[in-house]
A and B are shown apart, each in its own frame.
Chain A
Amino acid sequence: METDRRRDVVRPRGNVIDAARALAKLRYRCRDVIRPRLLDWELDEELDAYLDLLTAEKMAAGMSAGDARRAAVAELGGRETIKGLVRSQRFRLPDGVVGAYGDARAALAPVARTAHAGAVLTMTLGLGISANIALLALQRSLVDTSTPAAHAVRSMASVTRPAAGATTASQSATHVAVNDSTLASLVRARMETAAASRRALLRAAAAERAAAERPTVSPNMVSPPD
């Protein structure tokens, strides 16, 4: 019971420690991927320090500098083997991702080498975006006021709007009025054509009916005597 109670109290701290450890592991993984050369350089430096400290220790024990160095090198053993063992513990991305990352780094390396690469990149992006916005604004102002295409588009748009009370500008109101009358005449013509067609069809149907009802008398047919 005592243990359980203590565990309950300790648990939040345990979570914090676990989170800190997870963050540290993530940081090391990122370093493994992003800075492998720096890690190699640091490992070399660490092994050099080990060698120097071991040499100093042996010299302090009474060895000559040369003997101490030789003994230290022998004690260290295969340097490349140690480096290989340490490297084998690093986090590695899949080969395809590593290749793509290497290609991207190689492509960006010349840009990154210039002193003001960041400023140049930012300015280029800024100027490009500004120029695009300016050109679009200019195009819009020109198209909206002068070209026949813009008129056509606006006329179509105004026809679809309700005529009364839909617009406030006088120019737009004129457009609406003009287009309403055009539309009305078109509709009227269409309705008249449809009515004429319907009348013609009705006439034809009536004629057919009349012809069918009329008795047909053949000259060879004689009614029998009663």
Chain B
Amino acid sequence: MADRATLLQGTLDVLVLKSLALGELHGLGVSRRIEQLTAGTFQVTPGSLFPALHRLEREGWLASSWGRSETNRRAKYYQLTRAGRSELRREMGAWKRIAVAMSSALEAT
């Protein structure tokens, strides 16, 4: 179970980084973008999303600033830092290798 929890946390981190690859988003925007990217497979609850956003920000992979939303509500926007982009590249490479290995393992007879 512990391995599974670790895997899920890593999954969420890379999904958050990927969701911000195109530009800055507020918390709800990140959540909706992840749903869109995974075709609804992952629905990130605020209880997982906000700790992940703050953790990634403290790691120096995200930066935040206050701005106005489309409904003119003051909201905190997150964006990738340069370190975050290189981390996303690194994580994407690692996940591709894992995906290939897992699919070949599961398809093996």
Tell me the A residues contacting B by CB distance below 8 Å. Answer: 14, 17-18, 20-22, 24-25, 28, 42-43, 45-47, 49-50, 52-54, 56-57, 75-78, 81-82, 85-86, 88-91
Q: Are B74 and A85 in contact (CB under 8 A)?
A: no
B51 within 8 A of A: yes
B58 within 8 A of A: yes
**In residues 26-56 of chain B, which contact A (Cβ within 8 Å)?**
26-28, 45-47, 50-51, 54-55
Q: Are B83 and A49 in contact (CB under 8 A)?
A: no
| Known contacts A45-B74, A52-B71, A89-B54; A77 and B60 CB within 8 A of each other | no
B86 within 8 A of A: yes
Given the complex of chains A and B, what is the CA–CA distance between A85 and B63 in angstroms? 19
Given the complex of chains A and B, what is the CA–CA distance between A28 and B28 in angstroms? 23
| Known contacts A17-B86, A24-B63, A86-B50; A53 and B73 CB within 8 A of each other | yes
Name the B residues within 8 Å of A90 (CB-CB). Answer: 58
* Total number of B residues with any Cβ neighbor in A under 8 Å: 26
Q: How far is the CB of B105 from chain A (nearest CB, A)?
A: 27
Name the A residues within 8 Å of B75 (CB-CB). Answer: 46, 49-50, 53
Q: Are B58 and A46 in contact (CB under 8 A)?
A: no
Q: Are A82 and B60 in contact (CB under 8 A)?
A: no
Q: Are A86 and B51 in contact (CB under 8 A)?
A: yes
Name the B residues within 8 Å of A56 (CB-CB). Answer: 71, 73
Q: How far is the CB of B92 from chain A (nearest CB, A)?
A: 17
Name the B residues within 8 Å of A81 (CB-CB). Answer: 47
Q: Are A53 and B76 in contact (CB under 8 A)?
A: no
Given the complex of chains A and B, what is the CA–CA distance between A118 and B27 in angstroms? 40
Name the A residues within 8 Å of B69 (CB-CB). Answer: 49, 53
Name the B residues within 8 Å of A25 (CB-CB). Answer: 58-60
Additional A-B contacts beyond A52-B73, A82-B47 (12; CB < 8 A): A17-B82, A20-B60, A45-B74, A47-B46, A49-B75, A49-B76, A50-B28, A53-B28, A53-B71, A82-B50, A89-B55, A91-B58
Q: Are A20 and B82 in contact (CB under 8 A)?
A: yes
| Known contacts A49-B26, A81-B47; A86 and B54 CB within 8 A of each other | yes
User: Which residue, of A20, A21, A42, A88, has the highest number of chain B Cβ atoms within 10 A?
Assistant: A21
Name the A residues within 8 Å of B83 (CB-CB). Answer: 17-18, 20-21, 24
Name the A residues within 8 Å of B71 (CB-CB). Answer: 52-53, 56
Name the A residues within 8 Å of B76 (CB-CB). Answer: 42, 45-46, 49
Q: How far is the CB of B20 from chain A (nearest CB, A)?
A: 15
Name the B residues within 8 Å of A47 (CB-CB). Answer: 46, 50
Name the B residues within 8 Å of A49 (CB-CB). Answer: 26-27, 69, 73-76
